[in-house]
Amino acid sequence: MDPIKIIQKYYDPKSVSYYFLVKHSEAVAKKAVEIAKRLKNPDIDLKFIKEAAMLHDIGVFLTDKPEIDCYGDKPYVCHGYLGREILKKEGFPKHGLVCERHILTGLTVQDIEDQNLPIPKRDMVPISIEEQIICFADKFFSKNEEFLTKEKPIEKIRMEIMRFGKDKVEVFDKWLKEFQ
């Protein structure tokens, strides 16, 4: 499969949203593949990591995020599960799970209830090693000019995640030891 071809079904290649999505996804894919190669675990599916990292944010155009040229009617936090729905429809349900499970360090039903998030009540936590690596790599980049392709400092990532709970930072710190 060609992730860019799928992205181009939903985004105009000349649009600003396409620019941010593709640049961001390329940065995440590059870092995720580097991590996976470094782990030297023959069970890790590198091709899947590259494809799924390119597609993990495909749902953003359905959300309201003018800064990145997205004018959908859903809150931004919905882009994960919406991306899953798109990729399921495209025939890539496993890639879809990466979309749904990459928000913060994953969201549990408890998180969704406690924070009253407007998303379906099911666990959306990265399970497979590929899902975890992509979720981790994503935390180093933002869809803004400053950290589009340049990695954020670890302390900045930790502070951003801390707002959503100490347990989220603990997961990130565990991944730091395993992956970085």
Contact residues: Fe ion, CB under 5 A? 57
C-beta closer to Fe ion: residue 25 or 169: 25
C-beta closer to Fe ion: residue 57 or 130: 57
Query: Which residue's Cβ has the minimum distance to Fe ion?
Result: 57
**For residue 110, how many C-alpha atoms fall within 13 Å in the half-sphere facing its CB?**
5
C-beta closer to Fe ion: residue 57 or 131: 57
C-beta closer to Fe ion: residue 63 or 169: 63
Instruction: Report the C-alpha gap between 77 and 95 in whole angstroms.
Output: 18
Instruction: Please report how close the Cβ of residue 43 comes to Fe ion at its closest, in angstroms.
Output: 25
Instruction: Please report how close the Cβ of residue 79 comes to Fe ion at its closest, in angstroms.
Output: 6
Instruction: Please report how close the Cβ of residue 77 comes to Fe ion at its closest, in angstroms.
Output: 9
Instruction: Please report how close the Cβ of residue 41 comes to Fe ion at its closest, in angstroms.
Output: 25
Instruction: Report the C-alpha gap between 51 and 97 in whole angstroms.
Output: 13
Q: Residue 116 region, left (φ>0) first, then alpha (ψ -120 to 50), else beta?
A: left
